[in-house]
A and B are shown apart, each in its own frame.
Chain A
Amino acid sequence: MTMDLTPIPSQTAGPYLHLGLTDKWSLSRVAGDGTKGQRVWLTFRVLDGEGMPVPDAMIELWQADSEGNYPHPDGSADSTAFLGFGRLATAEDGSCTFETIRPGRVPGPGGTVQSPHINVSILGRGILKRLSTRLYFTGEPANAADPVLALVPEVRRATLLAVPDPARPGHWTFDAHLRGKRETVFFDV
């Protein structure tokens, strides 16, 4: 008998994802104490097609360390304090805040080097399969030559840029508009 090796379908995480995923197992600190690099606080806001906050979503992050190494089992990230992974449920105002370090640059296709970025998943009620996007940093000179940003229509690139908070150094905000005029760019991965 030949086995069916087609991947199984995705389904929504539903409104009660907290029960299994974030009540006990959320992770707001992507980089623990002693991790090398510039410490940053990233506040995400998830908004729906009418601009209303999405209070029951979950955000997951995956990023390289400050030297551009992913803490993958086959990788070479140098610190066990650095998980590179975080996940949080959004609050009633659609927001959640991670503490991490600014990632380094990692290789891109064809000998290119990618600009510092954080890989972002959004899951939750009304989201039938994982939404994938990326966070880049406003003002980063390497953005101009980033091979992934180059795939995005120029008028929409700004949706991927976190904005620094002028009042609080190290704090950045990223609005994820799931739908509508200001819709964030999502990737087919």
Chain B
Amino acid sequence: MIQTKRNNPTETIAGFRRHEPGTQPDYLYPAYRGTRLRAPSQPLVFLPHTISEVTGPVFGHSEIRQEDHDLTIQHPGVPLGERIIVSGRVLDGDGHAVSNSLIEIWQANAAGRYAHSKDDHPAPLDPNFTGAGRTLTDKDGFYSFVTVKPGAYPWRNHDNAWRPAHIHFSLFGPAFVTRLITQMYFPGDPLFAYDPIMQSIPDEKARQRLISKFDLETTKPDWALGYRFDIVLRGRESTPFER
């Protein structure tokens, strides 16, 4: 239970568990050039969790429309590309569902072009595809998006650099410290080994957690391929009461 009343200042706060070594990228990964001037050089200051860290916003709930989770029906026409269903479940580190929580996604179109003014990759824009979606997890933590499979695209990080196809995911979870932005990849992409953003995650098993799985069960006959992407957010330390 979280108490924010000031008249109970001595209550013990159950913090969120820290990450295992190797399961998250470091800030500095020189092969990803963008980190060289944007990664802190000083050691981080370890912060025991207080009420400020274990609470978090409830954001975006009232504004979600039904079509927001289907990126293929946001324009008069149908977008080009391979239609896919991306679905899964959001859990915390104890296996509990993260329910009623905002997920936002954004991605390139099937040709590998973002509908963004700064993207100058000479691949066609699709007038029927913006590439942004949002939804809430249900009471059991499940979510689902309909979209098209994004294309790979070049970037200028190094000579002949290409990003593997990916969808950006933004999640809130129950606390400010569970806030997570990540990327979902597709199985078997030959570009993984050459991508410093994915390779910035030290542990091979941890990298695998960002690769969705083809899923025949959620594939809809004569309609769309299904990819499953389950997401685990941080779990809580046990409180003295729970021990």
A16 with B116: CB separation less than 8 A: yes
B2 with A25: CB separation less than 8 A: no
B46 with A151: CB separation less than 8 A: yes
Q: Which of B23, B52, B235 has the most CB of A within 10 A?
A: B52
**A-contact bits for B33-61, CB 8 A (1 contact / 0 none):** 11111111110111111111101111110
Q: Is A114 an interface residue (CB 8 A)?
A: yes
Please name all residues of chain A whose beta carbon is closer than 8 Å to the beta carbon of B201 when the two chains form the complex: 9
CA distance A24 to B3 in the complex (A): 33
Pick from A33-41, A116-124, A137-145, A167-175 the stretch touching chain B: A116-124
* Chain B residues touching A, range: 35 or more
CA distance A150 to B27 in the complex (A): 24
Q: Which of A5, A9, A60 has the most CB of B within 10 A?
A: A9
Please name all residues of chain B whose beta carbon is closer than 8 Å to the beta carbon of A56 when the two chains form the complex: 118
Q: Is B160 an interface residue (CB 8 A)?
A: no
A72 with B56: CB separation less than 8 A: yes
Please name all residues of chain B whose beta carbon is closer than 8 Å to the beta carbon of A129 when the two chains form the complex: 24-25, 27
**B-contact bits for A1-22, CB 8 A (1 contact / 0 none):** 0011111111111111111110
CA distance A8 to B197 in the complex (A): 15
CA distance A10 to B182 in the complex (A): 5
CA distance A138 to B91 in the complex (A): 40
Q: Is A127 an interface residue (CB 8 A)?
A: yes
Please name all residues of chain A whose beta carbon is closer than 8 Å to the beta carbon of B118 when the two chains form the complex: 15-16, 56
Q: Check A83/B170 contact, CB under 8 A, given A4-B232, A131-B40.
A: no
CA distance A27 to B181 in the complex (A): 18
B44 with A8: CB separation less than 8 A: no
B6 with A68: CB separation less than 8 A: yes
CA distance A132 to B133 in the complex (A): 26
8 further A-B pairs in the complex, CB-CB below 8 A; given A107-B9, A183-B40:
A7-B23, A7-B233, A12-B181, A48-B37, A64-B52, A106-B51, A123-B181, A186-B42
Interface residues of B (CB under 8 A from A): 1-6, 8-11, 13, 19-20, 23-27, 29, 32-42, 44-53, 55-60, 63, 91, 93-95, 104-106, 114-116, 118-119, 130-134, 168, 170, 176-177, 179-183, 197-198, 200-201, 205-207, 209-210, 231-235
